[in-house]
């Protein structure tokens, strides 16, 4: 599982790329509340789900060019 510092760094990257919690949640098939609670350190996610979020945020620029996000 990611440390709070790693989650904070990921949040900063998400914000820099202008990815909303709603957009992230919709595209990954989870609730917006789940995303918010995780970024606020109030919820632990499975390693698999964390990896999906990391991959989504890291690859978002490539996806933006294809889908218009």
Q: pLDDT per residue over 35-52, tens digit each?
A: 999 999 999 999 999 999
Domain positions in the chain are: 4-67
- Is 57:14 a contact under the CB 8 Å cutoff? yes
| 19: its two tokens | 């990815």
Model's pTM, two decimal places? 0.86
Q: For residue 18, give the 3-state DSSP assignment.
A: coil
Residue 67 has pLDDT above 70, yes or no: no
Output the CA angle 40-61-38, nearest 5 degrees.
Answer: 15
Q: What is the pLDDT of residue 69?
A: 54
CATH T-level assignment (fold) for domain 4-67: 434 Repressor (Amino-terminal Domain) (1.10.260)
Residue of 37 and 61 predicted with greater confidence: 37
> How far apart, in whole angstroms, are the C-alpha atoms of residue 17 and residue 9?
12
């Amino acid at each position: 599982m990611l440390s709070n510092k790693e989650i904070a760094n990921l949040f900063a990257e998400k914000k820099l790329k202008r990815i909303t919690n709603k957009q992230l949640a919709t595209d990954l098939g989870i609730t917006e509340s789940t995303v918010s609670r995780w970024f606020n350190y109030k919820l632990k996610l499975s390693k698999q789900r964390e990896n999906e979020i990391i991959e989504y945020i890291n690859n978002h620029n490539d996806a933006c060019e294809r889908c218009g996000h």
